[in-house]
């Protein structure tokens, strides 16, 4: 019971810290942002709200101004089941990438952040 309360408390601290120090969104010309918005439609992030690695990934999405659909794999049973059945494991963060009729499930925050930076930082 104590461990669970501690975990919930730490999760709330992580969320509060993220809110207070949230980065600004990258500013782009309207045409470039429209291109990013269109590309982001093929991306979905499976995450837990208070997971520090998920927070780190969401901060990168915000900084790069990439509007990705977020799925709560902790509290939404359907999202959790999709992550398990299609992604292969319940591990977050996980970025689902749908391109050219192919679906890729990318795990590990560092790998996801590197991918996002390569794809969207210079757009």
Is 90 part of any domain? Answer: yes
Counting the structural domains of the chain, the total is: 1
Whole-structure pTM over 0.75, yes or no?
yes
User: Are residues 20 and 12 in contact, defined by beta-carbon separation less than 8 angstroms?
Assistant: no
Domain carrying residue 82: 42-123
Nearest CA among 123, 2, 3, 1 for reference residue 65: 123
DSSP code of residue 78: H
Question: Residue 109: what pLDDT?
Answer: 98
Distances (CA, A) of 123 to 31, 67, 100: 10, 14, 20
Mean pLDDT of the chain: 94
Residue 5 has pLDDT above 90, yes or no: no
Pairing verdict, β 102-107 and 43-47: unpaired
- What confidence score (pLDDT) does residue 99 get? 93
**In CATH, what number is assigned to the domain containing residue 95?**
3.40.30.10
91, pLDDT greater than 90 = yes
**In the predicted structure, residue 9 carries a pLDDT above the cut 90:** no
Region 90-104 average pLDDT = 96
Per-residue confidence (pLDDT) for residue 12, from 0 to 100: 87
Q: Is the preceding omega at residue 93 within 30 degrees of 0, hence cis?
A: yes
Per-residue pLDDT reduced to its tens digit, 17-55: 888 988 999 999 999 999 999 999 999 999 999 999 999
Helix pair angle (109-120, 52-64), 10° resolution = 0
99 bridge partner residues? 102
In a domain, 9, yes or no: no
Per cent of the chain over pLDDT 90 is: 81
Whether residue 30 is contained in a domain is answered as no
């Amino acid at each position: 019971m104590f461990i669970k309360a501690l975990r919930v408390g730490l999760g709330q601290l992580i969320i509060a810290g993220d809110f207070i120090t949230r980065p600004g969104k990258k500013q782009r010309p309207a045409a470039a942002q429209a291109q990013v918005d269109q590309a982001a439609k093929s991306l979905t992030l499976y995450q837990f709200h208070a997971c520090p690695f998920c927070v780190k990934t969401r901060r990168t999405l915000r900084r790069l101004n990439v509007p990705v659909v977020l799925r709560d794999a902790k509290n939404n049973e359907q999202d959790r089941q999709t992550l398990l059945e299609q992604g292969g494991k319940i591990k977050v963060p996980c970025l689902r990438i749908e391109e050219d009729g192919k679906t890729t499930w990318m795990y590990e925050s560092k790998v996801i952040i590197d991918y996002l930076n390569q794809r969207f930082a210079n757009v």
